């Protein structure tokens, strides 16, 4: 890629308002826990990844839907403030915007409840309107908080135009069409990889052993993130371990989103998969060291500084 041209990333995905609730511990089923604080922050896996990619220096277009509630304008304006092209965000009448209730305990563990709202209405009409943007992009980045049929259709548009597709298969579907994984790269975490395979993956060795079976499902390349154990990379030929970055985790809510964005940006810049994975790992580590989702997304300088230090 020409050094002077910024990477062009199209992000198809969810746009939510996150209601962040912090407490000493997460409630067990049937248990009531008195929480410490509640904060509203713009989120959604798609929007999180769009913000992260923009902060990493890419030109980003967001493709998705919001409702006509009080959150809608705030969500769109927040993305505009990050320099993201919002012309392909559709406002759906008589619909709530997506909302996520994110419960975070002191250890950094989290549990999330999502009301899809307008995200469930991202369909073929939105894709047709954004077709040219997808075709003109260096990378199409997607997740699974919008309808799977839309994700599959968008991947087909990108494939036809020769645009690489990165899928963050989160939340992992219980059952899915094989066509869903017909992409250039998937980047599940350990739990999501297990869900895709329909069997538990309890160790690094389990994940490494599962790569051939996962590859048979369609993705050309695979990166499975494993928190403080690093990541397992499959480049289409061999398996490698990406070492973790040592950092104090505060909130892992959006670490995976920062990771996916880092992959998209570096691969759009023609980096090798190893280079992209290292960059993405650093991005994910920094995101986990901050509070919230978009508020914790790192910029380019922070990521490159961490890579240099470690």
The owner of tokens 């511990």 is: 25
Q: Are 169 and 261 in contact (CB under 8 A)?
A: no
What are 165's strand-pairing partners? 140
Catalytic annotation present for 257: yes
Distance CA 276, CA 271 (A): 6
Torsion angle of C-alpha atoms 185, 188, 192, 194, degrees rounded to 10: 70
Distance CA 280, CA 208 (A): 19
The single residue of 18, 85, 138, 257 carrying the catalytic annotation is 257
Distance CA 257, CA 50 (A): 9
Q: How far is CA 254 from the centre of its chain?
A: 8
Which secondary-structure segment (H or E) carries 65?
strand 59-66
Distance CA 14, CA 124 (A): 15
Active site residues: 257
């Amino acid at each position: 890629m020409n050094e002077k041209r910024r990477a062009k990333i199209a992000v198809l995905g969810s746009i939510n308002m996150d209601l962040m609730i912090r407490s000493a511990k997460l409630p067990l089923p049937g248990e009531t826990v008195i929480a410490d604080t509640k904060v509203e922050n713009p989120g959604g896996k798609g929007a999180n990844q769009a913000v992260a990619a923009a902060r990493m220096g890419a030109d980003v277009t967001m493709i998705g839907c919001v409702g006509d509630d009080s959150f809608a304008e705030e969500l769109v304006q927040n993305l505009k403030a990050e320099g993201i092209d919002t012309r392909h965000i559709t406002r759906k009448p008589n619909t709530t915007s997506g909302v996520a209730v994110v419960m975070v305990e002191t250890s950094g563990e989290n549990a999330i409840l999502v009301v899809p709202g307008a995200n469930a209405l991202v369909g073929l009409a939105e894709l047709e309107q954004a077709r040219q943007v997808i075709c003109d992009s260096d990378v199409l980045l997607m997740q699974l908080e919008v309808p799977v049929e839309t994700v599959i259709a968008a991947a087909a548009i990108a494939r036809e135009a020769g645009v690489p597709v990165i899928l963050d298969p989160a939340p992992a579907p219980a059952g899915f069409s094989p066509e869903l994984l017909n992409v250039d790269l998937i980047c599940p975490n350990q739990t999501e990889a297990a869900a895709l395979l329909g069997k538990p993956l309890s160790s690094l060795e389990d994940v490494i052993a599962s790569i051939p079976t996962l590859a048979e499902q369609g993705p050309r390349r695979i990166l499975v993130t494993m928190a403080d154990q690093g990541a397992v990379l499959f480049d289409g030929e061999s398996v490698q371990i990406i070492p973790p970055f040592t950092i104090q985790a505060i909130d892992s809510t959006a670490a995976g989103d920062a990771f996916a964005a880092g992959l998209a940006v570096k691969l759009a810049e023609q980096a090798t998969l190893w280079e992209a994975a290292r960059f993405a790992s650093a991005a994910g580590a920094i995101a986990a060291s901050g509070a919230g989702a978009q508020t914790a997304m790192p910029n380019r300088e922070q990521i490159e500084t961490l890579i240099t230090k470690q």
